[in-house]
Amino acid sequence: MKAAVLNEFGSPLEVTTLPDLVLGTGEIIVDVVAAHVLSYTGEVLRGERNYTLELPLAPGTAAVGRVRATGPDSTRLRPGDWVLCDITVRSRDSLQAPDIVLQGWSARGPGGRQLMRHYRHGAFASQMMIPTENAIPLGPLDEADAGRWCALDLLLVPFGGFTAVDLRPGETVLDLGSGGGIDVLLSGRRVGPSGKAYGLDMTGEMLELARANAAEAGAANVEFLEGHIEAIPLPDNAVDVIISNCVINLSGDKPAVFAESFRVLRPGGRFGVSDILADDELTEAERLERERPVGCLAGVLSFTEYRDGLARAGFTGITITPTHEVTEGLQSAIIQAVRP
Ligand SMILES: C[S@@+](CC[C@H](N)C(=O)[O-])C[C@H]1O[C@@H](n2cnc3c(N)ncnc32)[C@H](O)[C@@H]1O
């Protein structure tokens, strides 16, 4: 197969022919049609991000493509099917705490490096071999739209809380820590002209960016507020829904965030956020050691602490659904609750 290969950090990618991929059980080969090029790709390829990659390899992140061949344990996918290739590959001999790599992009620790020697090449190649469960069927699509589907996958990353709350026309929604505002713009579309979407952020630059994005999108029913999620600048009973993507873990006063969320929600209002939580079994020292590298400097809550914190603020119907492991013992999760 043809691939754009990185031989050395800092050297240009070299388009070359690699040995054909050999399919095994539990694997699938996909003909790559479109691939992400993330904004910081240059930093990775120049070695500035210190990603652990054993070179040479074809780098790359997610791709959209067509199934070329499936293993004997694949019963639904057929050659020619369109799929999204998810590069988050997990070792299979430890379901609770697998080694996790981003195929063709980064691998940590001895287990990760070992895994990446097999699931090696990323999407900057004519073909990719990925674990079967990483091929997400997309249904029929026009080849000319493959690049768009790839871009959509990038936009879906911040969808955590957004998808958890089932927004309805006419509702008022608040995004805690709205950053560049993508979730607010999407929420604004969902709730329609009779609804409203607020974004709250403490950082002037992010507010500026979000307001510029809203202006460009011509969004009339969105508003960005400056302030802190620990002291929400809205009156009591002001919103139907609270969403947030990976922000509450950054707060140094999480009880205040929960209490303020409860206060501004109307009775019957829904809280649906994504956040990072620690496994209950982690010791305090283990938690500290793992939080730092993933940037959770204010300290993450454990599953039990999160549930108790929401219950103490008055929330009911609390569910916590882990979505993926961020690092050993730290999980990304969707947390849903209701203000009774
Ligand atoms: C990790 S970014 C997430 C942005 C956005 N939710 C997304 O998914 O793209 C965190 C954002 O939360 C904001 N933030 C962090 N702590 C905050 C706080 N205590 N109050 C208000 N905003 C906060 C930051 O300014 C930043 O824009």
Express each pLDDT in 279-323 by its tens digit: 998 888 888 777 766 665 568 999 999 999 999 999 999 999 887
pLDDT value of position 207: 94
Q: pLDDT above 70 covers what percent of the chain?
A: 94
pLDDT range class, residue 18, cuts 50, 70, 90: very high
**What is residue 160's predicted lDDT score, i.e. its pLDDT?**
52
Higher pLDDT, 46 or 189: 46
- What pLDDT shows up at residue 291? 72
Pick the atom of ligand 1 nearest to 182's CA.
Answer: 9
- In short, whether 108's Cβ falls inside 6 Å of ligand 1 is no
pLDDT at residue 296, as a whole number:
58
Is pLDDT above 70 for 96? no
Segment 178-207 mean pLDDT: 92
Residue 76: both structure tokens together: 């639904």
Does the structure show a pLDDT above 90 at 183?
Answer: no
Query: 275 alpha carbon to ligand 1 midpoint, in Å?
Result: 12
What's the average model confidence in pLDDT over 76-89? 93
Looking at per-residue pLDDT, the higher value among 40 and 338 belongs to 338
Is the pLDDT confidence value at 65 over 90? yes
- pLDDT value of position 289: 77
Quote the distance between the C-alpha of residue 187 and its chain's center.
17
Give the position, in ligand 1's atom list, of the atom nearest the Cα of 250: 16
In short, whether 251's Cβ falls inside 6 Å of ligand 1 is yes
Sign of CA dihedral 35, 37, 41, 45: positive
Percent of the chain with pLDDT strictly greater than 90: 66
Residue 157: predicted pLDDT: 47
Mean pLDDT of 56-82: 95
Residue 203 CA, closest ligand 1 atom number: 25
pLDDT attached to residue 330: 84
196: left (phi over 0), alpha (psi -120 to 50) or beta: beta
CA of 201 to the centre of ligand 1 (A): 6
By the 8 A CB rule, do 86 and 23 touch? no
Between residues 38 and 197, the one the model is more confident about:
197
Ligand 1 pocket test, candidate residues 186, 247, 248, 264, most atoms within 8 A of CB: 247
pLDDT for residue 239 is more than 90: yes
Fold of 2-141: Quinone Oxidoreductase; Chain A, domain 1 (3.90.180)
**Residues contacting 144, CB < 8 A, separation 6+:** none
CA atoms of 17 and 100, how far apart (whole Å) = 28
**Within the chain, what is the greatest distance between any pair of CA atoms?**
63
> Which residue's CA lies nearest to atom 13 of ligand 1?
177
Give the pLDDT mean for 51-77: 94
Ligand 1 site, residue 274, Cβ cutoff 6 A: no
Q: What ranges do the domains of the chain cover? A: 2-141, 157-338
Closest ligand 1 atom to Cα of 177: 12
Q: How far apart are the first and last CA of the chain?
A: 58
* pLDDT for position 86: 87
The stretch 199-210 carries a mean pLDDT of 93
pTM attached to this predicted model: 0.64
144-151 mean pLDDT: 88
Mean pLDDT of the chain: 90
- From the candidate CATH numbers 3.40.50.11260, 3.40.50.1100, 3.40.50.150, 3.40.50.300, the one assigned to the domain spanning 157-338: 3.40.50.150
What is the Å distance from ligand 1's center to 200 Cα? Answer: 8
Q: Higher confidence at residue 125 or residue 50?
A: 125
Reported as a single tens digit per residue, the pLDDT across 126-137 is: 999 999 999 989
Tell me which of 19-33, 97-111, 186-200, 282-296 is least confident: 282-296
- For residue 216, pLDDT over 70 is answered with yes
Across residues 216-220, what is the average pLDDT?
87
Mean pLDDT in residue range 15-40: 94
